[in-house]
Amino acid sequence: MSRSLNKASLIGNLGADPEVRSTNTGTRVATLSIATSRRWTNRSGEQQEKTEWHRVVCWDKLGEIAEKYLKKGDRIYVEGRIEYRQWEGQDGQTRYTTEIRALEMIMLGSSGGRETSRPASAPAGRSSDFSEFSNQSLAGDDDLPF
């Protein structure tokens, strides 16, 4: 059987505070609404912009981190897989949703004194915040072995 890949990577801003709930077993689940935007110039030279909204679900440790540290407007990186669900609504109609199940989450930008999160499986050590790279050039000292 051949391999396949189901992977989504987003960098965007939270459109609302995380919606957090607990399952019957006490597992924390946070639902995020993340906005990503793209800009372009149309043929008549006018600037255009389109914003897409993504539903992201964070389970277990990531759900706890989202609940503790995230708020509306925060810029984050999320990596996960795309999942499709369907259910029957109270009116008897079949409903569908597309969501991203987060496997990794990194808080970007100014953290205002908050910690930078990483997936529960990530090793401890250096921060996962990319802001340290914003003013560095590629020349100079680095940790590359060549």
Under the banding of pLDDT at 50, 70 and 90, the label for residue 48 is very high
**Is residue 111 one of the residues assigned to a domain?**
yes
- Compute the half-sphere exposure of residue 17: CA atoms within 13 Å on the CB side of its CA: 5
Give the structural domain span for 33. Answer: 8-38+49-116
Would 144 be classed as within a structural domain?
no
Let me know if residue 90 belongs to a domain: yes
Whether the predicted pLDDT of 114 surpasses 60: no
pLDDT for position 104: 96
CATH of the domain at 29: 2.40.50.140
Q: How far apart are CA 36 and CA 68, in angstroms?
A: 23
Span 49-102, pLDDT tens digits: 999 999 999 999 999 999 999 999 999 999 999 999 999 999 999 999 999 999
* pLDDT surpassing 60 at residue 136: no
The pLDDT of residue 91 is 95
Q: How confident is the model at residue 1 (pLDDT cuts 50, 70, 90)?
A: confident
What is the number of structural domains in the chain? 1
What is residue 79's predicted lDDT score, i.e. its pLDDT? Answer: 98
What does the block give as tokens for 3? Answer: 């391999």
27/2 Cα distance (integer angstroms): 34
pLDDT at 3 over 50: yes
Is it the case that residue 110 has pLDDT exceeding 90? no
| Domain membership flag for residue 2 | no
Residue 126 domain-assigned (yes or no): no
Helix, strand, coil in percent for the chain, rounding step 5: 10, 45, 45
pTM: 0.70
Give the end-to-end CA distance of the chain in Å, rounded to a whole number: 38
More confident residue, 110 or 61: 61
Q: Which residues pair with 32 in a beta bridge?
A: 56
Residue 65 — φ and ψ, nearest 5°? -65, -45
Task: Give me the residue label for tokens 């609504």.
Answer: 89
Inform me whether the pLDDT recorded for 2 exceeds 60: yes
Is residue 100 one of the residues assigned to a domain? yes
